[in-house]
Chains A and B, each alone.
Chain A
């Protein structure tokens, strides 16, 4: 996979079955965000070889909105500010196919009620942005959710709140999750089946994510490349 003609991820195989939750670890710049952006279909992340399959069909050539409508959702690490477009508007559009979505109740649970009529991400703190992202993802009701560092920039109290909500969300309806995290705080609240480390464009060390984080804390990422566990 290339960005601007430069290969960032190569020869990678990743399979998630329905209901799987996988944690993706890796150093800064290792290609974690690029991988999920490619799955979501952002045109700057070009898949040059291989395929991305979702529910048995290829996603290649499919626009971002079509992938979203097919059931893929993403929580952005650093979402852009969109002046003039209100959070409520986007939630209503995102939830157009999700009849069971209770906007008021979900916004309240995430302490986002006061932000509904504000411009998207304009003047939001790091934590507010992440809660807004999670609210939008819940509104979409996706089958596969891609989380890009959901806890970064969030204070400790809210990490707990968000992680619990993410855990509940993934636990209902057999959703599949791919979660990028550096700290692993979120693992105290959600049940992740496997973890792996992305390095040199390949996945290494596929095993219990809590164990991987312990090892990284102890030995650094260098050991991941040689680990056969």
Chain B
């Protein structure tokens, strides 16, 4: 175990200045590693109203109604880690690695430790993150929630999360990343490794609720085994300085399925470089990537990559972008890689402004121009595309409605 850790540290050390293939290169030395004398609540009841509201806008409800478990980490401190169901485990990754030797076999397997300077930083500066595991056959009808909260201005928060859905289990996870720092920049590096075993299903919904001066570099990898299902939803509607993420799923088992949905809203000054990749490595595997992007004088790079390594496989990639304002920019980059005869892959991308004829059409029904535009924008951000379970959809709807009030 120590040898493995030393080896990981060694690789990370060599990659500590390695630029990411995508996104602006961020000098991590500008951020503090230590929050110093910051004070933290002793439990979820100790959060301020502002903090609870910020969390709620990231889908995290500390009343814990219709939740099967909650994890809260503020800066580098785990405040709360509780599961409400005996066949679901929720704890910090640090704790889990101490508890389970076998977990080291999963550590940095779905994400490479030396992928770039951000993965390296997370290895060399390990500050917890969450471990969530559904035991074989566990069925979670309500979501578990994990909140990663950046409290101290100027801090680099790095977390390493691991989710394991054992055979025949079902799990819903909401990850809400947020902050209440009014001033001061910040950096969030989140490593997430998701392992979906045979016949298991994971719905993973990540909601980002940052601020204009926060840079974010999530690094997520998922491995899906036979008949496994991975539904990944990503929502970012609030201002942020710069997000770059390109999560990847490997469909390693026959008939595995992955579906990525992203809803992005780039405010003035925000850069969202967000994509999804799926390697279809087993026969009968299927994938779908759907992105909805609105640039309101911000910059969006919407990437997608589907790689059909065997046949038969089926996959589709779709990006629709709306540009509002004269300074917005959307760059859609859909990629298909077919490696064998018999792969069935397609993509479509459309970027434009809201069509005048659509607004005028709704106006002919009595809606004002503003109401018509708002209806079209809301429709564009409609989460029903995500096919969420009812309880989760209600929560996501609530989070989006809360953001929309501020955004529009």
Contact = CB atoms under 8 A, between A and B. Distances in A.
Interface stretch (B27-35, B63-71, B365-373): B365-373
A64 B364 contact: yes
Contacts of A173: none
A94 B362 CA distance: 9
A86 interface: yes
Interface string A74-89: 1010011011111001
A126 B380 CA distance: 24
B362 A90 contact: yes
B366 A65 contact: yes
B362 A63 contact: no
Given A85-B375, A86-B379, A80 B363 contact: no
Nearest to B355: A80
Nearest to A86: B379
Which residue of B369, B371, B379 has the most chain A CB atoms within 10 A of its CB atom? Answer: B379
A125 interface: no
Which 3 A-B pairs rank lowest in CB-CB distance, beginning with the nearest?
Answer: A84-B379, A64-B363, A68-B366
B337 interface: no
A27 interface: no
A40 interface: yes
Interface of A: 40, 42-43, 63-65, 68-69, 73-74, 76, 79-80, 82-86, 89-90, 93-94, 96-97, 119, 136, 139-140
B44 interface: no
Contacts of B378: 84
A65 B362 CA distance: 8
A68 B375 contact: no
A131 to B, nearest CB: 15
B371 to A, nearest CB: 7
21 contacts: A40-B364, A43-B360, A63-B368, A64-B364, A65-B366, A65-B368, A68-B364, A68-B365, A74-B364, A79-B361, A80-B358, A83-B380, A84-B380, A85-B362, A89-B375, A89-B379, A90-B375, A93-B365, A93-B375, A94-B365, A119-B379
Contacts of A90: 362, 365, 367, 375
B86 interface: no
Contacts, number: 70
B49 interface: no
A141 B3 CA distance: 77
B376 interface: yes
A97 B367 CA distance: 12
Interface in B352-403: 355, 357-358, 360-369, 371-372, 375-376, 378-382
A85 B363 contact: no
A139 B366 CA distance: 11
A71 B320 CA distance: 36
A84 B363 contact: no
Contacts of B361: 76, 79-80, 82
A85 B368 contact: no
Contact of B382 (A80, A84, A94): A84
Contacts of B357: 80
Contact of B376 (A73, A74, A84, A96): A84
Nearest to B357: A80
Contacts of B355: 80
**Residue in B366, B372, B376 whose Cβ sees the most chain A Cβ within 10 Å:** B366
Contacts of A136: 365
B380 A68 contact: no
A64 to B, nearest CB: 4
B358 A82 contact: yes
Contacts of A96: 366
A36 to B, nearest CB: 11
A90 B371 CA distance: 11
B371 A93 contact: yes
A64 B360 CA distance: 7
A101 to B, nearest CB: 13
Given A79-B361, A82-B361, A65 B376 contact: no
B276 to A, nearest CB: 21
A66 to B, nearest CB: 9
A93 B375 CA distance: 11
Q: Which of A68, A74, A76, A85 has the most CB of B within 10 A?
A: A85
A73 B365 CA distance: 7
Nearest to B380: A84
B350 to A, nearest CB: 10
A123 to B, nearest CB: 15
A147 to B, nearest CB: 13
A14 to B, nearest CB: 20
Nearest to B320: A83
Contacts of B371: 93
A140 B362 CA distance: 12
A96 B368 CA distance: 13
Nearest to B382: A84
A83 B381 CA distance: 11
Contacts of A79: 361
B382 A63 contact: no
A65 B363 contact: yes
Contacts of A86: 379
A140 B376 contact: no
A97 B366 CA distance: 10
Contacts of B320: 83
A119 B361 CA distance: 14
Contacts of A93: 362, 365-367, 371, 375
A38 B380 CA distance: 30
Nearest to B385: A84
A63 B320 CA distance: 30
Nearest to B350: A83
Contacts of B363: 63-65, 68
Nearest to B365: A94
Contacts of B367: 65, 90, 93
